[in-house]
Structure 1
Amino acid sequence: MNTRFRDTSEQDRPLAPRARRWPLLLGGGVVLVAAIAVLAGGRIRQALSADSAVSASRLSIATVAVAPLTRDVAGEGRVVAAQSPTLYAQGGGTVTLLVKAGDPVKQGQVLARVDSPELTNRLAQERSQVDALRADLARAEVEARQQGAALQSAYENARIDHQTAQNDLARQTQAFEAGATARMQVERAQDALAKARLALEQAQALRGLKTDSLKLDVQAKQSALSRQQLLAAELERQVAELQVRSPVDGQVGQLFIADRSNVARDAKLLSVIDLSALEVQMQVAESFARELAPGMPGEISGGSGAAQRWQGLVSSVSPEVVNGEVAARLRFAGPQPEQLRQNQRLSVRVLLDRREQVLGVTRGSFVDEGGGSYAYVVRGGVAEKVAVKLGARSLDRVEVLSGLAAGDRVVISGTENFKGADRVLIAD
């Protein structure tokens, strides 16, 4: 039995011969290589002309533009009392404290008492000396009046004697003219008058000199008394200040001694904080401190809410530089916030200058490198070293005076990787 199987010959179709495409692919590859070579030719030439190459990821680049320039100083400040007097002992002795730290006090309130036997005894002695000098002055005044009366009496007697001598001479002269007496009597009367005149002149001069001397004695006693009274008054003031009183309304700050301590003169006792006049103190770098001046506007922010802001004015700038910084204080331009507390931290910003149209660029490390005398400008993927002149500087921008134009792209940080090269390729 013959069995026939059907094949697939009827389903098969002859295929056309495959065209050879490798020449086309080869030609396209040549064209592509040529195009890449043309496009990369400039890049290669740049790479060959550059001194080195640095990855762009290691750099920060900014564009030079005309924009407002605000120069300010910002930092953290702390609330301090504008007045925080420290009270000292006016004499040595035992101190009795009448308040505790944190107690509210009023102006004139007694905060502590100093028991100083030395000052008390000295005051008693000086007062006794005042009484003695006052008695001496009274005695000198009485003696001056007595001697003045005696001198006046002597003068009056001399004047009467002079008048008597004049009258006697007149009578003797009339009698001589009438022939009732001898000429000798007239001459005796003349001598007596001359003697009386001399006695009167001496009495008058002595009265004047003695009166001046007595006045000087009294004035000396008065001066001694006044001087002693001043000494006593000064001791009275010191004794009164042994009761230490608060100079302001405020709060007791720090106690420097314990109660019933024995202290020396001028020892620190306690401090009082005037909470009605608070200021904000900030530390400013020495380079910015030279431009700070009292009266400059500022802004204070912080407190219980981040949105709280207050206008302020620079009240004082310390003349002393400590660790490269200067302490500056701002007072509130308006009403003082009530929620502030001593040593509370706040943000402070002081406006130094603001100009609207300034050619500048974002501030970066290039400002400090080389003294800000050069910058790297990016052109066609290569950073070129260009001489520049910089002007005013703020925290985020720096003014460009020459060397750059608006639209230039400048490497503002990472230039330390260039190592001073004139041209550096920036690799993507």
Structure 2
Amino acid sequence: MIKDTSGQDQIVKQKPKLLKPALLLVGVLSAVTWTGFAMINADPAYMSVEKAQLQIAQVKQGDLVRDIAATGKIVAANAPKAYSPEQGFVTLKVKAGDTVELGQVIAEVDSPELNNSLKQQESELARLQGELARNELEVRRQTLTLNKTLDLAQVELSAAERENRRAKLSIEKSLISQIDLEKAVDDLAKAKLTFKHAQQEVELAKDTLAFELQSSKGQVARQQLVVDELQRKVNNLHVRASVSGIIGNLLIQPKAMVSKNQALLTLVDLSAFEAELQVPESYANDLGIGMQVELKIGTELVVGSLSAISPEVNNREVTARVRFEQSSMSNIRQNQRLSGRILLENRSDVLMVKRGAFLNQGGFVAYKVNGERAERIEITTGVVSINHVEVLAGLSQGDQIIISNYDTFKNADAVLLR
């Protein structure tokens, strides 16, 4: 029995195969080619970019207007609010969008407390007026009594003077005694004294009565002022339009309970409009009252001037108001969108280039076009407007530079333009 064939097997060693010379040459050339491509792609100096994808601008000499682009809306130059004069229940007489005239009643406030207070003060005024009338009658009565007393004293004085003259004639003819003469003289002196005191008392009493009467009149006058003030407040419960225009927003619900000085609604004066622009806060320090502004409202271009600048910053923006001539314009509407161009300054005969994304690099470098190559150079830029950038150094008039974004260039010293 044969177990296996292991005894007959022999190990044969295989000789290595040599590469043919042609195949070896192809491999070497491939390696060199790939190495060359790798070196080209690794070296930024040989980066290639399609020229059609780039924006190229020419450096020129001219006048540069430094300006700011902003957007905004049309707002009413005068848009007052109507407020509740007192606490109470309000009844609105208009709706949003209604046209109103100056002085037209737009809301009524029902204030029972104020109406009740007015009635109480009117009652008090009537009482004081009755007291004044009674005092005037009493003054007339007392004045009559005082005049009567003074007249009686005058009569007694005249009688005493007449008795004194008779006594003097009688004593000369020895018809009366010396004692009777002296009595007549004393009666005359007494009558004179009584008349003098009566005059003084009457004058003092009249002054007293006049003072009391004036005091009563003062009380009536003061109460009349109280009533007039309450009447004014009651009249103000009829809220009237302060301008001619339209009703804007209603700030309360009809028949609502309102407090004193609470805003009820907004009025819009359609006779005058202004533009409200939102300017980035980075330009806030450059703004100034009176600066010229170009506004594009729909298809019309108008020129105005800055009339107000907000002192605060909201959402990284500063609000500016622009006043413009609108007599020749029509169909202007509240909150209509617009764009504006604020003219900061005008520089004459400066070197400038069109503004582009290359400013994202800080304005310190540019790629100058030279035939089919664009070389990286250092430049210095100045002020920037909406459309142009001032060039201070590094470029000359007639030079062309790439104003597109440089992120794809990877800071290459030069790029090839295809």
Residue 269 and residue 181 in structure 1: after superposition, are their counterparts in 2 closer, same or farther (change >3 A)? same
Instruction: Tell me the equivalent position of 1:74.
Output: 69
The question of 1:197 aligning with 2:197 is answered no
Instruction: Tell me the equivalent position of 2:34.
Output: none
**Aligned residues of 1:63 and 1:406 also touching (Cα < 8 A):** no
Structure 1 counterpart of 2:334, one-letter code: Q
Residue 232 and residue 293 in structure 1: after superposition, are their counterparts in 2 closer, same or farther (change >3 A)? farther
Given the alignment, which residue of 294, 310, 316 partners 1:318?
310
Instruction: Tell me the equivalent position of 2:105.
Output: 110
CA deviations over 1:351-409 (Å, ceiling 9, x no partner): 34435456778789999999x9xx779999785698x9x7x775556779xx8699489
The question of 1:172 aligning with 2:164 is answered no
**Aligned residues of 1:56 and 1:427 also touching (Cα < 8 A):** no
> For 1:347 and 1:74, how far apart are their aligned partners in 2?
8
Q: TM-score, normalised by structure 2?
A: 0.69
> For 1:140 and 1:300, how far apart are their aligned partners in 2?
74
Alpha-carbon deviation of 1:241? 2.2
Structure 2 counterpart of 1:339, one-letter code: N
Alpha-carbon deviation of 1:131? 1.1
Residue 322 and residue 188 in structure 1: after superposition, are their counterparts in 2 closer, same or farther (change >3 A)? farther
Instruction: Tell me the equivalent position of 1:40.
Output: none
> For 1:221 and 1:262, how far apart are their aligned partners in 2?
41
Which SS does the other structure have where 1:84 is aligned? coil
Which SS does the other structure have where 1:135 is aligned? helix
**Aligned residues of 2:278 and 2:317 also touching (Cα < 8 A):** yes
Instruction: Tell me the equivalent position of 1:281.
Output: 276
Alpha-carbon deviation of 1:288? 4.5
**Aligned residues of 1:165 and 1:193 also touching (Cα < 8 A):** yes
CA deviations over 1:306-352 (Å, ceiling 9, x no partner): x3112334333334444554322223314163322221111123334
Structure 2 counterpart of 1:251, one-letter code: I
- Matches for 1:190-339 after TM superposition, within 5 Å: 190-286=185-281, 288-289=283-284, 292=287, 294-303=289-298, 307-335=299-327, 337-339=329-331
Residue 188 and residue 56 in structure 1: after superposition, are their counterparts in 2 closer, same or farther (change >3 A)? farther
**Aligned residues of 2:290 and 2:307 also touching (Cα < 8 A):** yes
**Aligned residues of 1:67 and 1:356 also touching (Cα < 8 A):** yes
CA deviations over 1:101-160 (Å, ceiling 9, x no partner): 222223333322222211111111111112112112222222222222222222222233
> For 1:131 and 1:364, how far apart are their aligned partners in 2?
84
Residue 70 and residue 385 in structure 1: after superposition, are their counterparts in 2 closer, same or farther (change >3 A)? closer
Instruction: Tell me the equivalent position of 2:92.
Output: 97
Residue 412 and residue 165 in structure 1: after superposition, are their counterparts in 2 closer, same or farther (change >3 A)? farther
CA deviations over 1:192-227 (Å, ceiling 9, x no partner): 233222222222222222222222222222222222
Instruction: Tell me the equivalent position of 1:183.
Output: 178
> For 1:348 and 1:239, how far apart are their aligned partners in 2?
48
Alpha-carbon deviation of 1:294? 4.9
Residue 425 and residue 262 in structure 1: after superposition, are their counterparts in 2 closer, same or farther (change >3 A)? closer
Structure 2 counterpart of 1:91, one-letter code: E
**Aligned residues of 2:357 and 2:404 also touching (Cα < 8 A):** yes
Which SS does the other structure have where 2:95 is aligned? coil
> For 1:248 and 1:425, how far apart are their aligned partners in 2?
66
Structure 2: runs of 5 or more not aligned? 1-44, 50-54
Which SS does the other structure have where 1:346 is aligned? strand
Structure 1 counterpart of 2:337, one-letter code: R
> For 1:398 and 1:173, how far apart are their aligned partners in 2?
127
**Aligned residues of 2:358 and 2:366 also touching (Cα < 8 A):** no
Instruction: Tell me the equivalent position of 1:29.
Output: none
Structure 2 counterpart of 1:132, one-letter code: R
The question of 1:349 aligning with 2:341 is answered yes
> For 2:181 and 2:406, how far apart are their aligned partners in 1?
131
Instruction: Tell me the equivalent position of 2:9.
Output: none
Alpha-carbon deviation of 1:84? 1.9
> For 1:162 and 1:415, how far apart are their aligned partners in 2?
126
Alpha-carbon deviation of 1:300? 1.9
- Matches for 1:108-187 after TM superposition, within 5 Å: 108-187=103-182
**Aligned residues of 1:82 and 1:277 also touching (Cα < 8 A):** yes
CA deviations over 1:212-252 (Å, ceiling 9, x no partner): 22222222222222222222222222222222222222222
For this pair of structures, how many residues does the alignment match?
Answer: 359
Q: TM-score, normalised by structure 1?
A: 0.68
Q: CA RMSD in A?
A: 4.2
**Aligned residues of 2:379 and 2:395 also touching (Cα < 8 A):** no
Which SS does the other structure have where 1:276 is aligned? coil
Residue 100 and residue 192 in structure 1: after superposition, are their counterparts in 2 closer, same or farther (change >3 A)? same
Residue 134 and residue 413 in structure 1: after superposition, are their counterparts in 2 closer, same or farther (change >3 A)? farther
